[in-house]
Structure 1
Amino acid sequence: MTYGSETWSLTVGLIRRLRVTQRAMERAMLGVSLRDRIRNVEIRRRTKVTDIAQRVAKLKWQWARHIVRRKDGRWGPKVLEWQPRTGKRSVGRPPTRWTDDIKRVAGSRWIQAAQNRGTWNSYGVPSSTFQKTYVQQWTSIG
C-alpha cells in the first residue's frame, strides 16, 4: 500500500483515505465486520500493524535525504530547486507541493542541511526530534 509513497504530496485528505483503507484491510485480516462494532484501537492492538501515516511520513523523510544527496546528474535534485516561469497564477489556494511539509519541520534551508550528512542525521535519526515532529504531524490527523 505504501509503494511509491515517498513521492506523494502528503495532505490531510490523502492520510485520511489511507487510514480508512488500512482499517478496512485490518478488519478483513481479522474477519471482523463493521457490524461487529469493534473499535479501531482494539483492531490495531490485535493486528499489531504500524499506522500507515507514520510509515508513509518516515519513508518520505528518508527519501528526501536520499534524493538531495544524489550527484549523478539525475533529475531528482534538479526538480527540487526548479522555479516555475512567472506569469498568471490560477485562482485559489496553490496545490500542496512535495517539499511543503518537509520545509515546515526542517526549515526552508532543508536542502543544504541534507547535503551535510551530520546536520541531516541530527534531523533524521529515529530518536531525532525533527523526524518525530515530522511523523507526529501526520499521526495526529484523523
Structure 2
Amino acid sequence: MYGAECWPATKEAGTRLSVMKTKMPRWTAGVTRLDRIRNDAIRQEFGAAPIAGKMREALLRWYGLVLRGNEDSVRKIGLKFEVVEGV
C-alpha cells in the first residue's frame, strides 16, 4: 500500500479500502455474493490480512519515523505545529 501513511485515516476511507480488498479475491476465485461465502473465509484462503490493520501499521511506522527524526526537520516541525484561531 504505497503512500498509506499519508491517506486520510477516516472510517469511510477504511471501509472503501476494505470493500475493494474483498472484491479482488472474490473476483479472482470466481466467487459472487450469491454464493454466500463469508469474507473471512476468502481472506483466509488467500492469506490476506485485514486492510485496517495494514493502514494502522503504515501510519504508526510513519509516526515513529517522525519522532525519531531531527528536531529541525520539516516533519518534526509540522508535528509540533499549532493552529491559532481567529487570526
Regarding TM over 0.5, the answer is yes
Comparing 34-43 with 54-63, greater Cα deviation is found at: 34-43
Post-superposition shift, 1:68? 1.9
What is the CA deviation profile of residues 51-105 of structure 1, one whole-angstrom value per residue up to 9, with x for unaligned ones? 11111101111110111221174311111111123218xxxxxxxxxxxxxxxxx
Q: Are 2:36 and 1:37 aligned?
A: yes
Partner of 1:68: 67
Task: Provide the alpha-carbon RMSD of the alignment.
Answer: 1.8
What is the TM-score when the length of structure 2 is the normalising length?
0.84
Post-superposition shift, 1:33? 2.0
Equivalence map 1:8-87=2 (5 Å) = 8-71=7-70, 73-87=72-86
What is the CA deviation profile of residues 20-79 of structure 1, one whole-angstrom value per residue up to 9, with x for unaligned ones? 011011212222222322111211121110111111101111110111221174311111
The one-letter amino acid paired with 2:74 is W
Give unmatched runs, 5+ long, in structure 1: 89-142
**C-alpha distance 74-29 of structure 1, shift in aligned 2 (>3 A):** farther
Q: Percent identical across equivalent pairs?
A: 29
Give unmatched runs, 5+ long, in structure 2: none
What is the TM-score when the length of structure 1 is the normalising length?
0.55
